[in-house]
Chains A and B, each alone.
Chain A
Amino acid sequence: MSKRLQGIITPIIAVLLGIIVGTIIMLVSGYNPISAYNALWNGAFGEVYYFGEVVRQVTPYILAGLAVAFAFRVGLFNIGVEGQFIVGWLAAVWVGTSFDLPKIIHLPLAIIAATVAGALWAYIPGLLKARLRVHEVIVTIMLNYTALHVSNYLIKNVLTNHKDRTGMIKESASLRSDWLQSITDYSRLHWGIIIAVICCFIMWFLLERTTKGFELRAVGFNQDAAQYAGMNVNRTIILSMVISGAFAGLAGAMDGLGTFGYVTVKSGFTGVGFDGIAIALLGGNTALGVFFSAILFGALKVGALNMPLEAGVPNELVDIIIALIVFFVASSYIIRVVLNRFGKKDVK
């Protein structure tokens, strides 16, 4: 019981620590922390437009966080969420631009295409890990670059004729809603948030309530015992990567079909997949935790854009403050691990 409480309190303290140190840094460098944090708050929740943008940002964050968390629960470190995100984005836009179908078919088809693309992209490291024991971290990092450059190539040479971005997806594949935009004063808020919330529930249900989830968790905690108990460890590893990749691909669909409606040639990573790692850590790799930490990260990311303008805090300092929060979050995870170690001894 107290463990649960601890699980809730530690990330909150981490965030507060980040804010305190950020305050000190701002004071030392001669900026007004109160107006800076005020600008942060206003930039995230000050107007309904910004609130819409926060929710918009939270949507792919939830899914990316779920992707990392899901693999983590099975003992795998999926650094490749970024790559799976990119291929998902590409696949969604591809389907979204190339077909003319009724919405009831087109939109699900585009979403499924993204999910499958992400899942397939994650299947590769899963397979290599299961069959050849190649470490998934290395493979997924390499596949991130592969995804980036392959998708750039496809955008330039297949989806378009040497253009830097594709056309808009058809209305029938769009997650956007005039109504959502109108109530949030033209923010890019779209229906994807509902998908993301459903996915939180799916992750929880899958892991905690299903037979497969039992296997996934068992493999995550103790592969040897899982094998001893007759579970197929290799298949479980592949399955977990595929599901993780599916979440990541779905996150890509959120940007492809909702936020942007197109895909551009990218000069670098989007960062969503990497932010997903921090989100999963802060959320303790649980569905509910990911949901809340995605909200925090989304608010920080969108709100921070307002800090230079409203409070005159330079971008670099904003980056430092955000990084500090992430740092304390990461160390809170370490602290929690340490506490658990002691907790273990306690009971003995």
Chain B
Amino acid sequence: MKKRKIGLALSLVLAAGTILGACGKSDDNKGNDTAKNGDKKAAFSVAMVTDVGGVDDKSFNQSAWEGLQKFGQDNGMKKGVGGYTYLQSKSDSDYSTNLNTLARQKFDLVFGIGFMMQGAVDEIAKQQKDKHFAIVDSEVKEPNVASILFKEQEASFLVGVAAAMTTKSNKIGFIGGVESEVIERFESGFRAGVQAANPKATVDVQYAGAFDKAELGQSIASKMYSSGVDVIFAAAGATGNGMFKEANDRKAKNPNATVWTIGVDRDQSDMGKDVVLTSAVKRVDVAVQDIATKAKEGNFPGGKVTLYGLAEDGVAAAPINSSVANKADIEKAIKDWTDKIKSGAVKVPGTLKELKTFKAK
């Protein structure tokens, strides 16, 4: 009896506290609003929405955020409303709400990071016609949306060359995240590169079915290494982190083991200095900075697709690991292929269909 009464009293107090708190807050808010409006007139503001991978996925979203931060710092902006910021999505249904929230907070440009956000960006762009949006890795045909696409296949091709020249067993692995158009570009470019540099090498292709399952990535990598594969390329977001863990574990157990990994999206050499051969770098950061700069200068490429390939410095192969014996050879090969691709002499396949008819040289 007594306890119940105390509980009741407690809850009443709390309820009162909440209400009072709410009153106090609304005042704060007004203050903020005016401040916000004041800033707004002068400054350009930009924000991004991550996909479910989150901003610290050590890959795609992180790279975009790094680019946005750099842009913000270069332009003397502050983090937060009126400057630059990000919102994280926890499920597919959050994209729309997040994009809308940022648009409502009067950001001049809002990035949707990842093809999964295409539907949401499309819809909101139609509703908020006076706002600017950009979508990475997908195309939205709206006059107020800039679409950013990468030629992932070109970077993948280069790391494929590196893999083909590094492997001893002639067995190479590829771990994809979810089967999708983007990952297909990675896969076909990579396989084309391997084929071009070392026709004897085979590529074992496996899809994890997820971008956020490191443990799954690890078990796939483990199976691949055990079957004799000695270089693996993971284009699988955070799932790929499992591959690095497996490689590092194996290296720690046996320092002489030849286990190489190839990172994705950003230079992932920090994931293991002994095991990361190179990375297929996708300069989401460059693209984000580029589009933001253009928007700030009034040249927002709305309604257009901006393609970032080797020629635009939008993709690249990261520096080759210094402990690779034939590092110089690999670097030279990569240089040669880069020139050929840039000049248009070689067209790297972007789909598995194109890969079938691809002939190097």
Contacts and interface: CB of A to CB of B under 8 A. Distances in A.
| In the complex, A touching B (Cβ < 8 A) | yes
Interface of A: 9, 12-13, 16, 19-20, 34-35, 37-38, 41-43, 47, 49, 53, 57, 149, 152, 156, 162-165, 186-188, 255, 259-262, 264-268, 270-272, 302, 305-306, 308-310, 312, 315, 319
Given A34-B24, A267-B178, A302-B97, A165 B118 contact: yes
Q: Classify the interface of chain B: helix, strand, loop or mixed.
A: helix
Q: Which 5 A-B pairs have the closest CB atoms?
A: A38-B25, A186-B127, A164-B180, A267-B211, A315-B88
Contacts of A162: 179, 181, 184
A35 B115 contact: no
A185 to B, nearest CB: 9
Given A164-B115, A264-B116, A266-B92, A38 B7 contact: no
B143 interface: no
Nearest to A42: B29
Contact of B81 (A19, A38, A152, A309): A309
Contact of B178 (A16, A19, A152, A261): A152
Contact of A265 (B87, B105, B128, B178): B178
B119 A38 contact: no
Contacts, number: 117
A214 to B, nearest CB: 33
A273 to B, nearest CB: 12
A70 B119 CA distance: 33
A13 B52 contact: no
Contacts of A188: 96
A37 B212 contact: no
Contacts of A261: 119
28 contacts: A13-B11, A16-B14, A34-B21, A34-B25, A38-B28, A42-B29, A47-B104, A49-B100, A156-B179, A165-B118, A165-B119, A260-B93, A261-B119, A262-B119, A264-B92, A267-B116, A267-B210, A268-B213, A270-B91, A271-B91, A305-B98, A308-B87, A308-B88, A309-B85, A309-B87, A309-B101, A309-B105, A315-B54
Contacts of B85: 309
Most buried by B among A57, A149, A264: A264
B209 interface: yes
Interface string B250-283: 0000000000000000000000000000000000
Contacts of B210: 267-268
Nearest to B179: A156
A265 B25 contact: no
